Structure 1
Amino acid sequence: MKILTIDVGLGTQDIMFYDSKESIENSPKLVMPSPTRIIADRIAESEGDLFIKGETMGGGFITKVVKEHLKDHRVLMTENAARTIRDNLDYVKSLGVEIVPSSEAEKYSDLTQIEFKDVDLDAIKSALAEFDVDPGFDYLGVAVQDHGYMEGVGDRDFRFMKIREKLDVPKGPEEFAYFGEAPSYFTRINAVLRSFNNYNTTVMDSKFASVCGATCDRYVKTLEKFIVMDIGNGHTLAAAFDGGKIVGVFEHHTRNMTPDKIDLFVNKLADGTITHEEVHEDHGHGAWSLKPIGDFEAIVATGPRRNVLEKTNFNVHYAAPAGDVMMTGPAGLIKAIRSKNG
């Protein structure tokens, strides 16, 4: 079984090509600039009016440079591409973006062309082939962050509404994967599935993929009660585990996660008293707890900003599935795919 996995983050895209006939530690791996950064740079370097086509992808840096470009030039976008800025297309139009049907793309062939996509599969295959790695695979796994969208409901509230629905009972992190199809309100996840509908494609939210991958670490497999914290460039998600199942989560903006606040929210997550309202009112995304785990053995850390935990008093273990701290997302995708396909 060969599995190509791509964890698309804000700063990097982390790629692992797994072959079940080989030790996972020997899997080819790449850590490259994120598609959001790459495409934002292309827009920033462009001159004149832009026509942007393609799929919904991660916004971040792209939103900033599109707003800057609009000061002096027209920006035309297809509907799916425009949802990269925000799912509310009326808001996108209010910025000055002109939204046009994808069927009319040929009318704008004289404009500078930009294509949005979270995964450049041709580029990844070419990179592997340059090192004589046959890029053929049986399964494709992709992780992206997707808050979901419902008109009239805030992104943070909607995200935790759906997390509560999913986590109605304790569940393994691999159960947060979507195999070939996903609810329509996950616009970014569905963009990936549309792009690769001719492959056996699995998509996970990037936070849950990293949490899933952290449980593949050899030391973590020996633990009963622990908390995984994925501390990313933009967001931090903590998940409380009991017997291999997630029983509670909270999510916040990493820039707000001081050592004192980590101490507060982690202990409340462990004792089951954390509330959605207190995290949300602190400008975080929210929280949900099914039950307390009480005293726990360790915080299992992952993500590029994980070093903030060095300033806390917790017992911290840095997860390194496949022997690599950068591969928690890809490892989680592999675990999810193998749980479904053997």
Structure 2
Amino acid sequence: MNRRIKEATRRELPILLHGVIMGGGPSQWAAEDHVRKGLPVFATPEAARSFNDDLEAVREMGIQVIGDDEAAALAGDIFRIELRDFDFPAIRRAFESFGVSLDDLSAVAVAVFDHGNAPPDVSDRQFRFDYLDERLRVHAGEGTRRQLSAFAYEAGEVPGIMTRLQAVVDSAKDVDAPLVVMDTAPAAVLGATYDPVLAARDQLIIANVGNFHTLAFRLGSEGIEGVFEHHTGLIDLVKLENLLYGLAKSSLVHQDVFGDHGHGALVYNPEPLSFVDGKLDAAVTGPRRGMMYAAQSVKPYFAVPFGDMMIAGCFGLLSAVGDLLPDLRDEIHRSMEENRSSMAPWDAV
């Protein structure tokens, strides 16, 4: 979407943003650049919430928030951009170009990062981390994978506070199959646990170094023993290594991360992990995992579930679908648990 906004800026056209909530970062920056050039940006309320749940804050960016009727009545050469994370018709057309039909799907699973709709007087960083903590505590004792899949929901079960996940559901009305939506980072970590090297360990740390957020879970035989989440753009290699060590030693506290403009940290198991040869052995996944290539104090292991480090999140989504949809559970879990080769689970069925 940011490219389309930039195209409108290049053509010096007013913009109307409509649709539903979607990931806002680059699109917001492009819209703000558009405003700074003296060009109008209109947005319907739901689309505007892609940038901030507080519409007054959106207006302070210079964006004109208007109703749906007013948006429909806008005249002139308006560059109209529909916001949505999930566009099933476009995906269907793309697959059809390669001779693949999506007409008979057993399920559809989509992952997005959702801060949640924090009240005006609550930090969205704290709100997001409180949500992570609540989901982990509710499912404590159910095992690592079940705790991670607790961040996935069937379409009708999305909590009201998770507005971006709900927007995906709202965008999927033309999908004739069960829909599961999930948070991105837990999906990636869940998928990484299917790496055979990691699956054999009783305790480990897996970090997902994402484009905008870095989340690490400490996993144990009884379930998740700790977690932290920070903004990737605010950490470097040294800081990330220190955070991972703090999580391993059970010394990391919430303020260490939240006070550094991250989301937070919690340790549920006070017993520290043991280190091999004095170094912490941590698994890494995510699009910016390359940050760990030059690690000094941490020995990184780059997870390759089913022989593919690029789609750990997709494997996590598939695992969560197996947990949530009883009709698919046995087939999915059998294909993932029994297949320890580099063959993808969908090829093992």
Is the 2:284–2:302 contact (alpha carbons within 8 Å) kept by the matching residues of 1? yes
1:211–1:228 Cα contact (<8 Å) kept: yes
SS at match of 1:70: helix
TM-score normalized with structure 2 length:
0.82
**Distance in structure 1 (CA, Å) of the matches to 2:275 and 2:106:** 38
Question: Cα gap change, 1:42/1:337 in structure 2, threshold over 3 Å: closer, same or farther?
Answer: farther
Cα distance in 2 for residues equivalent to 1:226 and 1:139: 31
Residue 39 of structure 1 and its aligned partner are, at CA, apart by 4.3
Match of 2:41 in 1: 75
Q: If the length of structure 1 is used for normalisation, what is the TM-score?
A: 0.84
| Unmatched 5+ stretches in structure 2 | 330-349
Q: 1:332 aligns with which of 316, 337, 349?
A: 316
Q: Would you say the 8 A contact 1:250–1:288 is kept in 2? A: yes
8 Å Cα contact 1:173-1:245 kept in structure 2: no
Partner of 1:186: 162
Give the number of equivalent residue pairs.
307
Contact 2:111/2:182 (<8 A) preserved: yes
Which consecutive residues of structure 1, in runs of 5 or more, have no partner in the other structure? 1-35
- 1:128 aligned to which of 92, 95, 117: 95
- 1:93 paired residue number: 59
Give per-residue Cα distances to partners, 1:58-114, cap 9 Å, x unaligned. 111111111121232221111110001111100111222121222443202542211
Q: Provide the rounded CA distance (Å) in 2 between the counterparts of 1:132 and 1:141.
A: 21
> What are the within-5 Å matches in structure 2 for residues 32-71 of structure 1?
36-71=1-36
Task: Show CA shifts across 1:101-156 (max 9, x none).
Answer: 22443202542211111122222212211111122322111111111122211111
Aligned-residue Cα RMSD (Å) equals: 2.0
Structure 1 match to 2:291: 308
Cα 1:40–1:204 shift into 2, 3 Å = farther
Q: For residues 286 and 99 of structure 1, what CA distance do their matches in structure 2 show?
A: 32
Determine the C-alpha separation between the residues in 2 that align with 1:135 and 1:283.
Answer: 42
Q: Distance in 2 between matches of 1:188 and 1:334?
A: 20
Amino acid at match of 1:98: Q
Q: 1:109 to 1:126 in 2, by over 3 A?
A: farther
Q: Which one has the largest radius of gyration? A: 2
Q: Contact (CA 8 Å) 2:216, 2:228: kept in 1 or not? A: yes
What letter matches 2:99 in structure 1? D
Give 1:295's aligned residue: 274
C-alpha distance in 1 between matches for 2:194 and 2:4: 32
Give % identity. Answer: 33
Which is richer in strand? Answer: 1
Equivalence for 1:249? 227
